[in-house]
Structure formats: structure tokens, C-alpha cells
Amino acid sequence: MSIVAIVGRPNVGKSTFFNRLIQRREAIVDAVSGVTRDRHYGKSDWNGKKFSLIDTGGYVVGSDDIFEAEIDKQVELAIDEADAIIFMVDVEDGVTGMDQEVAELLRKSKKPFFLAVNKVDNSNRVNDAMEFYSLGVEKYYTLSSINGSGTGELLDDLVEALPDEAEKEETTLPRFAVVGRPNAGKSSFINALIGKDRFVVTDIAGTTRDSIDTTYNQFGFEFNLVDTAGIRKKSKVKEDLEFYSVMRSVRAIEHCDVAILVCDATRGFDGQVQNIFWLAQRNNKGIVILVNKWDLVEKETNTTKEFEAYIRKQIEPFVDVPIVFISVTNKQRIYKAIETAVEVFKNRSKRIKTSELNDVMLPIIQAYPPPAIKAKYVKIKFCTQLPTPFPSFAFFANLPQYVKEPYKRFLENKLRENFDFNGVPVTIFIRKK
């Protein structure tokens, strides 16, 4: 899926615009998962074209000074990672020095970018926008993120510029993405995994996006590693902000089947790691959590158990995820880690025959039917797995609207108990019979 990044100074209206575009979908996601979410990453679509949207400003917290120091890096990263960029400016402020700086960076890149002049809430302000031609663009878009006017024209041209979704090459090999915060040990893990320093940190400019999969055959497992730009460009950008690790994770995660989430045992499973976890979950990707640097942790009888319980608490309700404790330095459980990732891949590609599914699930449903609502009895008569790339199931009911979230979770748990979807998000739909 294409990635669109919104860049611009603080307070020009980036997050207002972002929220307008993803509102509808986010509401749905929230109702289903009930989990905390990253408010700066979401999916949107326009004219039938889907894209991921990243509000880069959302990751830069702090004063204007901090932003100024980071702006080059932020825009560069957007140029590296996004397929198209929305550059937002504020008609109330007019052209600022920082706007000129950003414009120059964008002009020098080959990435399509769209200049959005925001806060044009009424026609009086349309004329004020003219001065933005001085940023050297052929065209700009006047809009009001608050009332929505003008956004359609921008989106029409934006999605036009996005690459057509090339049919993904059908591969039966698992595609793994190794993700996590800076310094968790991702590159060390990859090096240990594939032997040799295949992932040497290099700075080859203009490395193309086209071949992001590399096939490896290790320990008798064949798999593809989805390259993460973060590894390649490590020496170039000091990745000290959440923004960088999350943004770099987005593309890798969207392209993988299984996200191998590396966390640093000495740092715990904090909000930033969780963001990456939910990113994978919301994309319906398989997940393996590796707790790395386990050699550095002082261990007592229950240390592993307790650490595991602590992580599971953070990832509720999606707790059916494998957690492997490793030490890359001591080469401990690297094999186990990859073996687990392969199992998760198999779970994600699992197809259950409709007859088998009904044989297992219908008696369970009969024994514990959905609670009656307003004296109406809900009957589920049939279920089937849907032909999606990730496990999803449709349960057919006479009154689908009466089947609530807790019961769906019950169904999901029963599916997990009976069919092993360890590490894989499972989606349940209740449909009208």
C-alpha cells in the first residue's frame, strides 16, 4: 500500500487534516480492538485508492526549536519512506523561513509533493494564498482542514500520483520484517540469523524500493527478509525519536507476513514498542516478540515468567502471541526465534475446512449461545473461513446486529483454543443469514 506523509511546521493544521482523513476508519478499528492506538498513523482511501497516512508532526513533541533542529531529518525521512508528500502551510502565517527550507528539500527530491495551504476557511483568504507561489510550485491547493473545503481537489491529484498497486508477487516463502526500537539489537539479530555481515551498514544513495525482499536459506528454513531502511541508513540518521522507528516500521510491516518485534529486555516493553506492536496487529500481520539482551538481566526463579506476564498485560486483549527470550550476543535461541516465526507464518496461512470448522464451533455455540436481547434469540447456524490473506471468519446469524463484542471475543478465543492461531490476529464478522 502506498504511504503518504504530511510534513510542515507545528500548528499549521496537520493533525486536524490527518484526523479528517482517517476518522471513519479509525472509528471502526477502535470499536473492534478497543486498544490504544497510534494517533499519527492510519489508513485512508479516496476514489477507491487506499493509502497509509502518516502525520510526521505528531511524532515531534516539544517546542519550535526542537522542530527546527529536526526538520531536515524529518522531511528527508518522509522523502525516503513515503510515496507522496503533503506539505502543509498556514495561510494565516504566510510564507515563513522554515516553509522555504522545507520547500527546497522537497523540490530537490524526486518525490511528488503537494502544497496544501491550510486555514483557507473562506473565500477572502483565497487571495492571501497567492504568496505561496514563491515556494516555487506550479500549483497549490487551498483548503480548510476544519470545515473540509478544498480537500477533495487535493486528494484527487494525490491519489492520481500514487503508484498503482502492482499485484503482489505470489510467494509461498514467509516474509519477515525485523522491527523494534533503535538499539534493541535488530541488526545484530539479522546478522546472527543470516550469518556473515550480509546487512552491512551501507550508505548507498538511491537504493531502490523495488527489491525490498531478499531470500535467505538458514537452519533449513527458507524465508524472505523485508529490508528495513533503518538498518541500511543507520549511520546517516541518528534514530533517537519515536518518529523514526515507527515510520521506518510502517513500510516493512505492510510488506511482511510476520513482524519479528525485537525489544530490549533492559528497557522493557514501553509505549514506543507497543506502538509498533499495534501497527502490526492492525495490519493483520503475524507477530513474534523477541526479548533480546536476556544475558543482561539478573535472573531468579520466576524472572522469565514474570517478564512474560508483564508483556502480556501490555498487549491485552491480543495476548496469544509467542514471546521468545534471546541473547544475540550469546547466540541463544536464535534458532528458536526463527522457528517460531515460521510457525506463526503457517498459522497465518492456515485454512480450515468449512466442515471441520462447523463441527467444532457449532456445538460450542449451541452450548453457549449469544445472550438474548429484548427477548430475541440470536441463532448462529453456520460459519466459514473467508479467503483473505490473514485468518478471518464469517458467522452467519439471524440477527447479526445483536452479536456484541464480548461474544465475538468468545468466538475468537474458542477458535484459538481449537485451531492454534498463535501470533496471528483473527478477525470475526457476523453476517446476516
Task: At 151, list the grid cell.
Answer: 480537500
Specify whether the CB–CB gap between 42 and 3 falls below 8 A.
Answer: no
Please name the residue that has the C-alpha cell 527470550.
Answer: 325
With residues binned 3-state (H G I as helix, E B as strand, rest as coil), the percentages for the chain, rounded to 5, are: 40, 20, 35
228 annotated as ligand-binding: yes
Name the grid cell of 181: 526500537
Binding positions for ligand GDP, rule: CB under 6 A: 8, 10-16, 57, 118-119, 121, 144-146, 180, 182-188, 292-293, 295-296, 327-329
Nearer to ligand GDP, 261 or 399 (CB): 261
Identify which of 41, 14, 15 has the alpha carbon closest to the alpha carbon of residue 29. 41
Which residue bears the cell 502480556?
312
For ligand GDP, give the closer residue by CB, 116 or 357. Answer: 116
Axis-axis angle for helices 97-108, 64-81 (nearest 10): 20
Whether 42 has a binding-site annotation, put simply, is no
Cα–Cα distance, 387 to 380 (Å, whole number): 20
Find out whether 206 and 111 touch, Cβ atoms under 8 Å.
no
The answer on whether 423 is annotated among ligand-binding residues is no
Answer yes or no: is 14 a known binding residue: yes
Cβ proximity to ligand GDP: between 2 and 292 the closer is: 292
Q: How far is the CB of 115 from ligand GDP (least distance, A)?
A: 15
Minimum gap (Å) between residue 246 Cβ and ligand GDP? 14
Radius of gyration of the chain measured on its C-alpha atoms:
24
286 is in an annotated binding site: no
Output 201 or 386, the one with its CB closest to ligand GDP: 201
Buried b (16+ CB within 10 A) or exposed e, 168-192: eeeeeebbbbbbbbbebbbbbbbbb
Q: Is 8 annotated as a binding residue?
A: yes
* Comparison of 188 and 207: residue with beta carbon closer to ligand GDP: 188
Nearer Cβ to ligand GDP, position 76 or 121? 121
57 is in an annotated binding site: yes
- The three three-digit cell numbers of residue 307, written as one number: 517478564
Smallest gap from Cβ 431 to ligand GDP, in A, equals 38
34 annotated ligand binder: no
Tell me how far apart the alpha carbons of residues 379 and 371 are, in angstroms, rounded to a whole number. Answer: 10
Q: How far is the CB of 181 from ligand GDP (least distance, A)?
A: 7
Of 271, 35, 293, 72, the residue nearest 189 (C-alpha): 293
Smallest gap from residue 281 Cβ to ligand GDP (A): 21
**Shortest approach of ligand GDP to residue 354 CB, angstroms?**
43
Residue 186 annotated as lining a ligand binding site: yes
Q: What is the rounded CA–CA span in Å between residue 233 and residue 150?
A: 37
Residues with Cβ within 8 Å of residue 80, at least 6 apart in sequence: 229, 233
Smallest separation (angstroms) from ligand GDP to the CB of 249: 11
Residue for grid cell 470475526 = 428
Q: For ligand GDP, give the closer residue by CB, 330 or 388.
A: 330
Binding residues: 8-15, 55-59, 118-121, 180-187, 227-231, 292-295
Binding residues for GTP: 8-15, 55-59, 118-121, 180-187, 227-231, 292-295
